[in-house]
Chains A and B, each alone.
Chain A
């Protein structure tokens, strides 16, 4: 196998749309190293002023929750409805609540 047949690592790309907003995942790309990943991310994902800042991170560096564990993982907050403001009954005539 020649060098070019080895796949470049996969990077996930996050873009901050404008100041004051979070970086948001926009897609992925392959690149030989971090610097090229950033350069490719600019060309592929921000051709029209879509962002003011880019993060790239190797996909294999991300730890994700598993969809199979969804129920047990999120179960602890499922029955804690008292965490929501609507849980509390306040008379309508109390202002600014």
Chain B
């Protein structure tokens, strides 16, 4: 989108209109004036979110061929297809801010935009498919439900669609784990081992503690974010504890206990150095995930070229 230089008074007037819209919790729409920093923050956040959905297809996708029954394969395929769809909703929302799909793809493939740290952890056992549905998608729902009311219209609308579908993701995961917990001792151990591995990285999905989250305050003022990282993390822990009990697994945190006074669970601190390392690119699967995404993009080039050539040929025929 082109920016035309304007009179200071005019900019002042537009800024006041923008501030008033945000203050009354109304939505900003694509062709409204918005501060450059608001636009930049949204592009970064929505793109990162879109990339997470697309990269997020990989850890579970690895298990489609190895799912133990046709029913489980069909469920997993549908779920991974949903992740692709979520990525597309979000890329479309991001493009309304004036960036192109090609730019966003390049930024991901070039490692210049991030995606959620959780997808840099491997899926070592089939139980991980269940744990991802239950805990990873459960945490995503906690993060995403408030985003349905975010101040940027297209982002909020994309989140509403996504949240409706995430509920299936979480429930299929929990049901998968329940089935395994009714199985052999070996299967139960597999579930516990998977939960042990994922618990802390899942808590990191909410981002750094509020005191170390530099952009949070401004995003909240703009109505992009509606809740702080620590509040959402607390909410997730409180929701998850009874689910873990019902499932019969132990959450691997010796400090986890109900605090009557606060009316919430107390819990331990995730390893923020590990989080920083994964964000930096030093997680267990960062290189693998990006390499896989790049290969898929390059190997799919002929399909895009063929579709473009076919469209051009048909258009020419139609013109004759």
- A joins B in a complex: yes
Q: How far is the CB of A5 from chain B (nearest CB, A)?
A: 6
User: Which residue of chain A is the closest to B301 with respect to CB atoms?
Assistant: A4
Which A1-23 residues have a C-beta within 8 angstroms of B? 2-8, 10
On whether the beta carbons of B102 and A28 are closer than 8 Å, the reply is no
Q: Which one of A28, A33, A43, A67 lies within 8 Å of B311 (CB-CB)?
A: A33
Interface of B is mostly: helix
User: Which residue of chain A is the closest to B29 with respect to CB atoms?
Assistant: A67
On whether the beta carbons of B100 and A27 are closer than 8 Å, the reply is no
B residues near A33, Cβ cutoff 8 Å: 307, 310-311, 314-315
Known: A47-B81, A67-B32. A3 touches B101 (CB 8 A): no
Q: How far is the CB of A42 from chain B (nearest CB, A)?
A: 11
Q: Is A66 an interface residue (CB 8 A)?
A: yes
CB-CB contacts of B29-45 with A at 8 A, as 1s and 0s?
10111000000000000
In the complex, how many residue pairs between chain A and chain B have their CB atoms under 8 Å apart? 58
B residues near A5, Cβ cutoff 8 Å: 102
Which A48-71 residues have a C-beta within 8 angstroms of B? 48, 64, 66-67
On whether the beta carbons of A4 and B305 are closer than 8 Å, the reply is yes
Q: Which one of A7, A10, A44, A64 lies within 8 Å of B88 (CB-CB)?
A: A44
Q: Is A29 an interface residue (CB 8 A)?
A: yes
- Residues of chain B having any CB pair with chain A under 8 Å: 29, 31-33, 78, 81-82, 85, 88-89, 92-93, 95, 100-102, 157-158, 161, 165, 301, 304-305, 307-311, 314-315
- A sample of 27 inter-chain contacts (CB < 8 A) reads A2-B305, A3-B308, A4-B305, A5-B102, A6-B308, A7-B102, A8-B304, A8-B308, A27-B89, A28-B92, A28-B95, A32-B307, A32-B308, A32-B310, A32-B311, A33-B307, A33-B310, A33-B315, A36-B307, A36-B311, A43-B85, A44-B85, A44-B89, A47-B82, A47-B85, A48-B165, A64-B31
Instruction: Identify the 10 closest CB pairs spanning chains A and B, nearest first.
Output: A32-B311, A33-B311, A4-B304, A32-B307, A3-B305, A28-B92, A3-B308, A4-B301, A67-B31, A4-B305
- Residues of chain A having any CB pair with chain B under 8 Å: 2-8, 10, 26-30, 32-33, 36, 43-44, 47-48, 64, 66-67
